[in-house]
Amino acid sequence: MTTLNKIKLQISQNSILIYMKGTPESPNCGFSAQAVKAIASCGKRFAYVDVLKNIDIRTELPKYSNWPTFPQLWINGELIGGCDIIVKMFKNGQLQEKIDSVVINNKDNII
């Protein structure tokens, strides 16, 4: 499977997915930590990919998403954005609304 196909599969199989540095329990960058805190505060399960352990994804995802930095939040197959956008949406209630509208499927998983 190509890296691009792997990325597309991850995005399609996970309703709420964050590509980040580290894990939600142990973020390896301040931006990832802020983003995860906001997402977790919304109260739904979400999947993650540690781009530090998946160098192929770290290299290819910015080309696919046309977004150069991490973290990257994807909801229902749509790129939401990075840390600044996630935190701004959290503060104004838009992130909660977006996450509340997501139906978590049994296929959603932690990567």
58 is in an annotated binding site: yes
Exposure of 101 in the CB half-sphere (CA atoms within 13 A):
7
84 is in an annotated binding site: yes
29 is in an annotated binding site: yes
46 is in an annotated binding site: no
Backbone angles phi, psi at 66, to 5 degrees: 60, 35
Exposure of 26 in the CB half-sphere (CA atoms within 13 A):
1
Annotation: binding site for glutathione:
21, 58, 70, 83-84
Annotation: binding site:
21, 29, 58, 70, 83-84
Annotation: binding site for [2Fe-2S] cluster:
29
